[in-house]
Amino acid sequence: MTAGVLVLAELDPAARARLGNRAEGLMDDATAAVRPVLERIRRDGDAAVLAFLREVDGVELTADRLIVEPAVVDAAAASIPAELVAAMAHTARNLERYHRAQLLDEFAIEVEPGVVVGERFPAVRAAGCYVPFGTAIYPSSALMLTVPARVAGVERIVLASGIDPATGEIPAAVLAAAALGGATEIWRVSGTAAVAAWAYGTETLRPVDVIAGPGGPYVAAAKELVRHHVGIDLEAGPSEVLVLALDDFDPDLAAADLISEGEHGATSCGLVVTPDAARAADTAARLAARLAALPADRRDAVQTQLDDGRSGIVVTADAAAAIAFCEEVAPEHVIVHARDADGVARSLRCAGTVCIGAFTPSPAGSYVAGTNHVLPTGGAARHSAGLSVTHFVRRQSFERITREGLERLRPSIEAWSNYEGLPGHLAAIDARLRRVE
């Protein structure tokens, strides 16, 4: 049997943690591997970036080719299928509508006479957008990153991705999507090297204010290590899905949903969680049939997850236990199969995105529905949200106080300043109040 059915109550803590894809070991190994790369690029600049591309990607470049030429970008759209160009336009349109709804308006409020406070939301000056390149090509990620940055008002949007050794170029579809989304600059730089260049800058590559984008453990670890130099979006590592199959669900759909995210790679995570033992067994059989029909590389990726215990089919005592386990895992995607799918979805607090109902598979949102597919993974959904306009703006507070307002505030400022032993605070107030208008 390709996948066994596991009973949650019988799992030991280690096995339970693996089902949640808590892959601390992967991140530990990645952190140790990328740290010297970051330090080398910070010290040696372009030369270290070029060495990384040669040693890791097998690509020989010169510094003058690290940035993609405008003519190459302009020609990209003409070389890809027309139906893909149309799909890109569809996705960009829905993404823009979704992200424009996230824009925040400046506000100001008079909290007492003469004291006005508020917030405004200026965009960061420059954003780095990373599109993974490896076992698959992800032009959809180029749109998911550049569109919200553009909607937010970022002036310099820098996209980076790896080079296809077969062509010596970033895939044309990625270039076309980046241009459509609003990228102002595209780098032929992959993985850790892109993160380092965005954080520290080189002779050719200028740094940015915020780095966004998904990636494997190495990119995730690199982003964590540079976050004291540059802002990062969120913990977006290997893909995850939890299929919450509570009642009257189709086992074949549940199996298909597990594969839909699991096929990304061997470190991904796919779970079906249900209180229905009979349908769980049927799901296992349907999963075996669907796996057999996959291309060998995708089949092997899902099989590795099942063998390692990061993916599987889990039976719980009841629906409440299934929901509680979903909250414990805090997955990137939750797909809700239930009669009251809306009600169940509203009860979920710890998920990157929630796909509600049998006709809402995760690929719909990942590609074209309009929500963003850059989502928190590895349990980060307990405290982080998916990529949005807010990752590309700063919340900037402001205060505007009149003389009369400052006089009203002075007694409390004096009390605070005396208690905390900071006389200069009060002196800054009194210096103003002694002024003759």
Relative orientation angle of helices 191-200 and 217-226, to the nearest 10 degrees: 10
Quote the CA–CA distance of 370 and 217 in Å, as a whole number: 26
Q: Which amino acid is at 30?
A: A
Instruction: Round to whole Å and give the CA distance between 149 and 233.
Output: 12
Q: What residues does 210 pair with on adjacent strands?
A: 127, 231
Q: For residue 130, give the H/E element and its range.
A: strand 126-131
- Residue 305: both structure tokens together: 């997850």
Distance CA(91)–CA(143), nearest Å, equals: 8
Residue 41's nearest CA partner among 233, 213, 163, 203 is 203
Per the residue annotation, which of 99, 333, 337, 373 is the catalytic one?
A: 333
Measured between alpha carbons, how far is 289 from 258 in angstroms, rounded to an integer?
13
Active site residue 373: no
Tally of CA atoms within 13 A in the half-sphere of 155 that contains its CB = 4
Residue 55 Cα to chain centre, angstroms: 27
H helix or E strand, kind and range, residue 301 = helix 296-308
Output the CA–CA distances (angstroms, integers) from residue 149 to 62, 103, 233, in the order listed. 29, 11, 12
Q: How far apart are alpha carbons 236 and 232 in whole angstroms?
A: 10
Is 268 within 8 Å of 262 (Cβ atoms)?
yes
Note if 332 is an active site residue. yes
Catalytic residue among 332, 337, 373, 391: 332
d(CA 342, CA 249): 15
- The catalytic residue positions are 332-333
